[in-house]
Each structure stands twice: as structure tokens, then as C-alpha cells.
Amino acid sequence: MHAMTTTLGHPLAERRRTAAGTHGAVTATLGPMASPISGGRLDGVDLEALARRVPTPFYAYSATTLDARIDALQSATESHGIAVRYAAKANATLALLQRIAEAGFGADIVSIGELERCLRAGIPADRIVYSGVGKTTVDIATALAAGVECLNVESLDELQTIERIAEASNRPVRVAARINPDVDAGSHAKISTGRAEDKFGVSPAEARAWFAREQASPLVRLDGLHVHIGSQNLDLAPFHRAFAQVAQFARELATLGHPIASIDVGGGLGVAYRDGQRPPGIAEYMDTVRTALSGFSGRILIEPGRWLVADAGVLVTRVIRVKNTGTRRFLILDAAMNDFARPSLYDAWHAIAPLTPRDGTPLPHDIVGPVCETGDTFARDRLLPPCHTGDLVLIHGAGAYGTSMSSNYNTRPRIAEVLLQDGRYAIIRRRQTFDELIAGEQPARHWESA
Ligand SMILES: Cc1ncc(COP(=O)(O)O)c(C=O)c1O
């Protein structure tokens, strides 16, 4: 990828690559639960000691694991000229975005907030694609003013709004029609996006009519196709079906006089959260992309999110209380559903284990947080060795859709995030203070008529 050549000489990029190079073993362990924790250390940092300096709960990310993923993705894509647009929603913390920017990757965004983050992290606007079913007029105008690479359009109404804004502001823009291929990715229903009943994209029949219609603005160039069938996909077959359908549609459009310049196949490549899950490797995934799109000579883009960051992160949390009700044994952690929502939202399974297991027979535990919801549950009936108040417990695979989905529910502050590498750590987000949490709130002193 041309971008990579330009970043190789960058001192930060150089340091990142060197560091990754000294940890070749990590590349080899990519796969189920790749977080390289051994002897209580993550990326050489003693987590017990770290948790004495940084109040729990906090997210800890292994820079080495992240860099290994970035390097693997670069090698898998650059020889084929495939452009990476990292899905910022997976984790948009600036320091991580910066590392991703240094690799020359662009971003897939779904809000102007994400646009701001990506620009600040150094991702150029012309490597940022903008997806989402509900872009407002202001969102679209802001994206056009920033000069984003492409808007992935999800409805005729949106396309018409883009045309109006392009005309009014005299700004050119490229757009891609997001196709809903009616393919079930086989993942959790709440993160499947490619079935006909899902709110995303439009049918090929509707998109065909978009290409046939008289454009309301010559500034809008509709010459791309986009598809994204869902997240945490462990099976390549649905990807192949969706991509092949889009490739066939591109051929059909070309014969109708609408050559397609780019196909963006979205993200969705899954990771192994638990033993026995066998996600496809990046090479197999890229083979699927290339096979399904063979014969297509335009640009190919991919939007991986989870695959890049999930395994790099652990949520470091402490046992507040052990409570035995006679029928259930609860382990109450200081992390909660507001810090890490995936288990409560999707019943997502994450490996959870004490940092330093104690001796004793493992017993089933319900692992919960302190939030006042029964749904504030990380796991039920999980076999764990005896745990005591104050013990550190790690929730693994927390690098993706962890911090980015967190909230202030129960007036709990956003927690800290720490980047670890080669035995050292850097705070990349400090814990929110109470004053920061309530900033913007005010008493109802000034009443006005609307
Ligand atoms: C349009 C789009 N692209 C990419 C992604 C990233 O998906 P993942 O993190 O599963 O790779 C998403 C997430 O659902 C998405 O909505």
C-alpha cells in the first residue's frame, strides 16, 4: 500500500515496527485468546503492580499484540493493493487510533465525533469513509467540508440530501451505495446487518434505480458499492455469498454503463473469544475477498474493527465482594455493564480469570458488577478457583467494543485506559473525574420560550 511506504520512515512507525519485531512469538500466538499474559504480566508489565498505581477498573492494552495485528493486516493487504479502513467504532481511543494511522490505514466512521477523533489521530480525511443509516444534514455537510473519501449511502433520501448539500456548498463528493445482500452472517442477531429485515443498505433492485436516475448534482459521483453483513463472523461462506453478489452486481452495472470504481466489503471478521471458536485467519479471509471479487479491477476496501483490537485489551478489575446466597455464589467486581457492555447487551462470552489463581477447588460463580440491574452480569456459573475481596480479575478480549460502548450509567465515571509495551506503561485515558462527568449540566435557572 502506497501509504505504508510514506509512513515507514516515520520515527513513531519505526519504533512500533521494531517493537513488534522483537516479539515474533506474539505473531505466532495470534488466534484464540492472543492476549500475551504470562506470570501476571501483560506486555512485560506486572499487572498487580500496575493496579496499585492505576485505580481499578481499567482497560490495559498490549501494544505488542496490537502491532502484531497491524503488521499481519499490512502484509495481507498491501501486496494486493487492498485499502484498510479501520472501523473506529471498535475502539476510538486516540492513542490507539494514532498507532493505526501510523500504519497508513484509513478509517470507517459512523459519526462526526468519530471523524474528529480520526482527524486528530492523524488519519487524513481522504482515507475516511463514512457509513451509517442516519446521517443528519449537519453530519453530511461537515463530512463534505472535511473532504472525506466516500459516503456509504443507505437510502434514496440520504442520496438526495447529499446532492442538495453538495450543490449548496459546491463541494464534490464520492458516494457508494450500501447493498443489503440479504445474507445472514450467522452471528448474534443484534450485530447482524445484512439480512433483508435489517435497517442497513438497500436491495440491488433499489440501488439499480439509483444508478439509472438523473443525478441532481454533477458534484456527487456515485461509482462505489459497499456491503457489511455483520460483526463477529466466524464463517467465511456468508462473506463469500455477499461479496460475490456485490461483484456480480458491479458487473451488471458496468454493462448498463455505470462502471464501479470501488467495492468496500465492510468489516466483520471474528475473533476467538473462547476455546473451540475457530475464526478464519486473515489470509483465508483475504482469499475469500479476492476470490469473490475476482475480475473486479477497481479498488477494494475492507473495514475491520474487532479483528485489530479485541485481543489486545483486557479489563483489569478487582473483587469488591464475594456473596454466597446458598443457591448462588456471586463474585461482585468493581467493573460493571457501563464499563463493558458486551456481556449484558449480547450475552457475549469472555474469558474471565483471577490474575493470580488461589489454591482450592474451582466452583461455579456468577460474575457481576455493582450496577443496579440484574443484567449487570459478566458470566453465570463460571468455574473459578476461590476468590477473595481485593483479588484482581481479568476480563479478556476486551479491546474491541469495550471502552467505545461504555457509559456513565449509575453516575459511574469513564474508566482509565493504559497502553503497555515492553515492561512500561502509559496512561492513554485517565479516569474521568466527577466534575468532568457532570460538566454541561446546570440547574434550570433560565427559562425561555421555544
Ligand atoms: C459499516 C461497518 N463497517 C465495519 C464494521 C466493523 O465490524 P467489525 O468490528 O466486526 O470488524 C462495522 C461494525 O459493525 C460496521 O457497521
pLDDT digit string, tens, across residues 62-108: 999 999 999 999 999 998 899 999 999 999 999 999 999 999 999 99
| Measured distance CA(260)–CA(255) in Å, rounded | 10
C-alpha of residue 108 to centroid of ligand 1, in Å? 8
> 106 - beta bridge partners?
85
| Measured distance CA(87)–CA(77) in Å, rounded | 16
- Kindly give the number of the ligand 1 atom that is closest to the alpha carbon of 400: 9
Average pLDDT, the chain: 91
| Measured distance CA(262)–CA(195) in Å, rounded | 22
C-alpha cell at 286: 483475504
The distance from CA 270 to its chain's CA centroid, rounded to whole angstroms, is 11
Strands 392-395 and 83-87: unpaired
DSSP state of 125: G
Pick the CATH number of 64-308 from 3.40.190.10, 3.20.20.10, 2.60.40.1180, 1.10.1270.20: 3.20.20.10
**CB of 70 within 8 A of CB of 99?**
yes
Alpha carbon nearest to ligand 1 atom 5, residue: 267
pLDDT of residue 6: 30
pLDDT of residue 425: 98
How large is the C-alpha radius of gyration of the chain? Answer: 23
pLDDT of residue 25: 32
With a 6 Å cutoff on the Cβ, whether 263 touches ligand 1 is no
| Residue linked to cell 456513565 | 408
Residues that are catalytic = 372
The distance from CA 202 to its chain's CA centroid, rounded to whole angstroms, is 23
Name residue 307's amino acid.
W
pLDDT of residue 183: 86
- Which band of pLDDT confidence, cut at 50, 70 and 90, is reported for residue 24? very low
pLDDT of residue 189: 76
pLDDT of residue 221: 98
C-alpha of residue 111 to centroid of ligand 1, in Å? 13
Secondary-structure class of domain 1-63+309-434 per CATH: mainly beta
With a 6 Å cutoff on the Cβ, whether 228 touches ligand 1 is yes
Instruction: Find the mean pLDDT for residues 233-262.
Output: 97
C-alpha cell at 83: 485499502
The distance from CA 212 to its chain's CA centroid, rounded to whole angstroms, is 35
Give the pTM.
0.92
CA distances from 168 to 60, 161, 172, 208 (A): 46, 11, 11, 26
Helices (H), 103-255: 112-120, 137-146, 156-169, 204-212, 236-255
**CB of 341 within 8 A of CB of 370?**
no
With a 6 Å cutoff on the Cβ, whether 111 touches ligand 1 is no
Q: Is the pLDDT of residue 270 over 80?
A: yes
Give Cβ neighbours of residue 303 (< 8 Å, ≥ 6 apart).
Answer: 84, 85, 86, 87, 108, 129, 131, 228, 264, 265, 266, 267
Q: Is the pLDDT of residue 294 over 70?
A: yes
| Residue linked to cell 459519526 | 111
Name residue 95's amino acid.
A
CA distances from 262 to 129, 149, 174, 349 (A): 12, 11, 10, 36
Helices (H) and strands (E) in the chain, counts: 15, 20
With a 6 Å cutoff on the Cβ, whether 90 touches ligand 1 is yes
pLDDT of residue 440: 95
| Measured distance CA(118)–CA(109) in Å, rounded | 8
Q: Is the pLDDT of residue 14 over 70?
A: no
- Which band of pLDDT confidence, cut at 50, 70 and 90, is reported for residue 35? low
C-alpha cell at 28: 505466532
Alpha carbon nearest to ligand 1 atom 4, residue: 267
C-alpha cell at 324: 454466597
With a 6 Å cutoff on the Cβ, whether 192 touches ligand 1 is no
Residue 96: CB atoms within 10 A of its CB come to 26
The residue ranges of every structural domain in the chain are 1-63+309-434, 64-308
Is the backbone peptide bond immediately before 204 cis, with ω within 30 degrees of 0?
A: no
Largest CA distance in the chain: 73
pLDDT of residue 308: 98
pLDDT of residue 185: 79
> How would DSSP label each residue in 345-359?
HH-----EEESSPPS
End-to-end CA distance of the chain: 53
Q: Say which residue, 35 or 136, is predicted with more confidence.
A: 136
| Measured distance CA(300)–CA(265) in Å, rounded | 8
Continuous segment of H or E residues that includes residue 13: helix 11-21
| Measured distance CA(42)–CA(65) in Å, rounded | 10
- Kindly give the number of the ligand 1 atom that is closest to the alpha carbon of 230: 14
Q: Is the pLDDT of residue 194 over 90?
A: no
User: Which of 138, 146, 159 shows the shortest CA–CA distance to 106?
Assistant: 146
Instruction: Find the mean pLDDT for residues 31-47.
Output: 78
Q: Is the pLDDT of residue 9 over 70?
A: no
C-alpha of residue 421 to centroid of ligand 1, in Å? 27
Phi-psi sector, 173: left (phi>0), alpha (psi -120 to 50), beta: beta
